[in-house]
Amino acid sequence: MIARSLRLRLLLSATGAIAVALVLAGFGLTALFDRHVERRIQDELATYLRQLSGGIEFSEDGSFFVGVPLADPRFEVTFSGLYWQVEDDDRALAIHSRSLWDTRIALPTDPLQVGIIHHHRLPGPGGATLMVQERRILFPTNEGNRSLRIAVALDRADLDAALQAFAGDLVPSLSLLGLVLVLAVWFQVSMGLRPLDAIRRGVSAVRNGRANRLPGNQPSEVMPLVVEVNDLLENQEKVVERARQRAGDLAHGLKTPLTILQSDAARLRTMGETKLAEEIEGLVQTMRRHVDRELARVRLTEKGARPGQDTCLSTMVEKIVRTIHRTPQGEVCRWSLDVPADLYVSMDDGDLAELLGNLIDNAAHWALSEVTIRAETNGRDGFISLLVEDDGPGVSEADLGKLGNRGIRLDEQVPGNGLGLAIVRDILAAYGGDIGFANKLDGGLQVRVSLPARKSATL
C-alpha cells in the first residue's frame, strides 16, 4: 500500500529527511556548544594564569609564593576541579593550590618559549581529565632572572556535565520541532495533492454520468493533464456519436429489406410454401434481434457519456405496470407492489423504463396469476435491491445460469426473441449494477437486480 500511495511516500521521505536533518543538527549544535564552552573555559583559565603570574613573590632564600590568593574559592577546596601549579625546573622547586592537596599535575617536559601559552589535556586527581594552560615567564630578581613554569587547570567533567545537560534539553526541543515540521509537511502534502483529489472526483463524476468534463479551475501544474483528459473525453464522444450514427444508419437500412422479406414470407405461406416461409421468418427474426440489440447497446454507450439523472423508482414501476396491465398477459395477473415512494434511482429515465419494462413483461409472460414487485435498501452500499417475482413454473437449476445471455430462449412456444433479459443485463452493466435469478420455494422465478441509488455527494 505504501508503495502505491503518493501521499505516504511523500510523508515518509519528508519525515526521513527531517529526522536526518534534526540528528545532524543535534550533533552540530552539541559540537558548537562544546566549542563555545571550552573557549569560555580557556578564556577563564587565561585570566587565572595572568592573575597567578602577577601574584608571584620571591623570598630572601630564593623560594617563591603567591602573595595575593586567587579570588575563586575553588582553589582552596580539595579536589574541587580547579587547580594551579608553579614550578622552577632549574631549582626543583614547586608550589600548588590547596585544591591539589598532595598531588601534582604531571606537566609535559617539552621546552616552552617564554610568554607563549600552551594548551594540554592531562590526567588529574582521581583519574580526571584536565584542561591545562601553561606558560613560562621570566621574573627579575636580585639573583637575576628566574624562569617559572605556571599552569592552571580545570577538570573537564564540568564541561561534560554541561554538554549532557545541554543535550538533555536539546533532545525534547528537537523532537517537538520535528513533530511540528512533520505536521507542516503533512499539511503541505495534503494541499499539494488536493488538485489530484479534485481530478479523481471529477473522473468519478464523469464515469457516473454527473458531469461531461473535468473541472478546469486547477493549478497550472495539473492543467495539462486536465486538458488532455477533457480532449480525450471529447474525442470519445465524437467516436461514440459516429458509431451511433453508423449503427443507426445500418439498422434503418436493414429495416426495409427485412420488412420486404417478412412480406415475401407471408406470401409464400399463402402459396403453400410453409417450410420456406418459416425459414425466411426465422432468419428475419434473428436479424431483427441482432439489430435491436446493437441499437440498444449503442444507446447505452451514448447515455454513458452524458450526465445521469435521479428517477423516482415507485413512479416508474407504477407507470410500467399500468402499461403491461392492459396487455392480455398482464390483464389476468394480480399485481402486488411494495416500492417506497422515497427511493430514487440514479439512472436515465429511458434506461430505467426499458429495464423495468423487460423485467415486468417477462414476469407477466410466465406468471400464472400473480406478479410481486418489491424494493429494498439493504443490498449493496449505494444500490437499491429490486425484486420481481412471478408464480409461474420457474426455471430448472441447470438453466438459471443461462438467463440473460444473448438470444437465449428457454421456451420457444412463448412469444419473444430472447433479447429482453440480455438488454436488462447490458443496462445494469452500464450503471454498475447486477442481476441474479433464483427459483422461489413455492414456485415461480425471482429476479433480483441492483440499481444505483441517488447520490447526494457533490463535487
CA–CA–CA angle 249, 303, 449 (5° rounding): 120
pLDDT value for 61: 81
- Give pLDDT, residue 46: 92
The pLDDT score that the predictor gives to residue 417 is 42
Residue 237 lies in a domain: yes
Give yes or no for a contact between 427 and 451, defined as CB atoms under 8 angstroms apart. no
Q: 334, 298, 318: which is closest to 430 by C-alpha?
A: 298
The confidence score (pLDDT) of residue 211 equals: 79
Q: What is the CATH number of the domain that holds 372?
A: 3.30.565.10
Which of 101-110, 230-239, 354-363, 404-413 is the least confident region?
A: 404-413
> Is 162 a member of any domain?
no
Residue ranges of alpha helices (H) inside 55-130 are none
160 part of a folded domain: no
382 and 424 belong to one structural domain: yes
**Cβ neighbours for 61, distance < 8 A, ≥ 6 positions apart:** none
Report pLDDT digits (tens) over 298-327: 666 555 544 457 889 999 999 999 988 888
Mean per-residue pLDDT for 8-28?
A: 92
Phi-psi map region of 144: left, alpha, beta (phi>0 left; psi -120 to 50 alpha): left
Cell digits of residue 1 = 500500500
The total of other beta-carbon atoms located within 10 Å of residue 435's CB is 19
Same domain, 238 and 254: yes
Confidence category of residue 456, pLDDT binned at 50, 70, 90: low
Would you say residue 54 has pLDDT above 50? yes
**Residue range 437-456: mean pLDDT, rounded:** 85
Compute the distance between CA of residue 453 and CA of residue 312 in angstroms, rounded to an integer.
10
Same domain, 241 and 348: no
Q: Which of 304, 320, 340 is the last residue of a domain?
A: 304
Instruction: Give residue-wise pLDDT tens across range 170-226.
Output: 999 999 999 999 999 999 988 888 888 888 888 888 777 677 888 878 888 888 888
Phi, psi angle pair for 121, to nearest 5°: -120, 115
Of 155-164, 210-219, 242-251, 382-391, the poorest mean pLDDT is in 242-251
Q: What is the mean pLDDT of the chain?
A: 83
Question: What cell was used for 113?
Answer: 618559549
Q: Is a pLDDT exceeding 80 seen at residue 427?
A: yes
Same domain, 332 and 442: yes
| 442 in the same domain as 319 | yes
Q: Could you list the residue range(s) of the whole structural domain that residue 260 is in?
A: 224-304
Q: Check pLDDT > 70 for residue 405.
A: no
Provide the pairing of β-strand 370-376 with 334-338: parallel
pTM above 0.75? no
Q: What percent of the chain has pLDDT over 90?
A: 28
- Do 299 and 241 sit in the same domain of this protein? yes
pLDDT number for residue 422 = 80
